[in-house]
Amino acid sequence: MTVIESQTPSRTNSPLPRAVITLVLIAVGFFLPRLLGGTSVAYSTLTTIAIFAVMCYGVDIVLSYLGEVSLGHTLFWAIGGYTAANLSVKYGLDGWTTALATIAFCLAAALFLGAVTLRTREFVFSLVTYAAAVVAYEVAFNWDAIGGSDGIVGIAALKLPLGVATFSGASQEDLWPVAFALLLLTLAFIARFRRSRLGTTALMVQMNPALAASLGVDPRKVRLAVFVISAPITGLAGWLYAYQRAYVGPDMFESYFLVMMLTAVVLIGRRILVGPLIGTALLIAQQNLLSLGGDWNKIILGSVLAIVLIFWPTGLAGLFRRFSKSKF
* pLDDT, tens only, 80-117: 999 999 999 999 999 999 999 999 999 999 999 998 88
- Full domain range(s) for residue 101: 40-251
Does the residue 215 lie in any domain? yes
Residue 6's Cβ-count burial label (10 Å; 0-12, 13-18, 19+) is exposed
Residue 311: what pLDDT?
A: 83
Does the residue 157 lie in any domain? yes
> What mean pLDDT do residues 195-199 have?
94
Does the residue 230 lie in any domain? yes
Which spans in the chain are helix H? Answer: 3-7, 16-30, 32-35, 40-66, 73-91, 95-116, 122-142, 172-195, 197-207, 209-214, 219-245, 255-268, 275-289, 294-311, 315-327
Helix (H, G, I), strand (E, B) or coil at 51: helix
> What mean pLDDT do residues 14-25 have?
82
Residue 10: pLDDT band with limits 50, 70, 90 = very low
Q: What angle do CA 26, 262, 129 make, to 5 degrees?
A: 120
Residue 305's CB is within 10 A of a number of other CB atoms, namely 19
Residue 14: what pLDDT?
A: 58
Does the residue 192 lie in any domain? yes
Residue 296: what pLDDT?
A: 78
Q: What angle do CA 278, 58, 206 make, to 5 degrees?
A: 100
pLDDT over 80 at 64, yes or no = yes
Phi and psi, residue 273, nearest 5°: -55, -50
pLDDT over 80 at 289, yes or no = no
Does the residue 15 lie in any domain? no
Residue 294: pLDDT band with limits 50, 70, 90 = low
Query: How many domains are there within the chain?
Result: 1
Does the residue 147 lie in any domain? yes
The span from the CA of 293 to the CA of 75, in Å, is 26
Does the residue 327 lie in any domain? no
pLDDT over 50 at 6, yes or no = no
> What mean pLDDT do residues 123-133 have?
89
Contact of 113 with 72, CB cutoff 8 Å: yes
What's the mean per-residue pLDDT of the chain? Answer: 89
Contact of 233 with 186, CB cutoff 8 Å: yes
308 or 278: which leads in pLDDT: 278
Residue 185: what pLDDT?
A: 98
Residue 12's CB is within 10 A of a number of other CB atoms, namely 6
Residue 108 Cα distances to 115, 144, 162, angstroms: 11, 23, 28
Does the residue 257 lie in any domain? no
